[in-house]
Amino acid sequence: MSLGIQVLNIRERALAVYRGEEPDRIPWLIYDVLCPRGHMARQLRNKGLGLKISASVLREETPRVHVETKTVGNVVHRTIRTPIGDLSMKERIGLHEGAGGSWTVEHPIKRLSDLEIAEFIIEDTVCMPDYDPFAEAEQNLGDDGVVFVWAGRSPLQQTQIELMGYRTFAIAFHKCPKEFERLLRVLERKTAERYQIIAESPAEIVNGTDNISSEIVSPKLFER
């Protein structure tokens, strides 16, 4: 005897939760980059584990900025060249499985003079809609999970994690507040452009990228 319960696939179950509906079973998903490979993956997938895959809906170009990349051992050296000066950074790659793709060991902003160059790079960045990667990811994944878009970090966390690191962030925040505030305003304008493109895209799921905790973002700083 049928109880009238609709059997959903993995994608339908996950989307039901995102939409505030009740699925037939609780879905469970894993970021595709963190999913084990081989026999373990088959066992988990056979038990209903779905994949959560990120794909972009935009592309960014920097007409007046050129990036030079050199890899030495497990460290990637990047030099960001602009008409008003250069920035450099280093990323460690080849991390253990589950630790992410890379880790920044030297941030591009190291001194006060770097703030102006960083502003130039941000303002030079042009964001354009590009839905093809997202559509291709959805087609390849099918009903085995969901495809989502990373929104990108908020301006505050961009300065903390991507541009300065926490130590330089704290120094800049207290010792050169005017210059720091100007950088945040530039980041906010560019972030708004990115959010607008994402909002108009076919993506149903958008993930915020920030990792907020009171140790690095105090309540007063968060409110501000």
pLDDT band at 2 (very low <50, low <70, confident <90, very high): very low
Residue type, 194: R
**What 8-state DSSP symbol labels residue 86?**
E
From the list 107, 89, 104, 118, the residue with the least C-alpha distance to 187 is 118
Measured in residues, the chain has a length of: 224
pTM of the model: 0.86
Judge contact between 183 and 119, C-beta under 8 A. yes
Question: How far apart (Å, rounded) are the C-alpha atoms in residues 132 and 47?
Answer: 31
The stretch 12-25 carries a mean pLDDT of: 93
pLDDT band at 203 (very low <50, low <70, confident <90, very high): very high
Distances (CA, A) of 32 to 29, 132, 145, 209: 9, 19, 10, 16
Q: What digits encode the pLDDT tens for the residues 89-116?
A: 999 998 776 666 788 999 999 999 999 9
Q: Which helix (H) or strand (E) holds 132?
A: helix 132-141
Least-confidence region, from 41-45, 124-128, 137-141: 41-45
Domain locations along the chain: 10-209
The stretch 35-39 carries a mean pLDDT of: 89
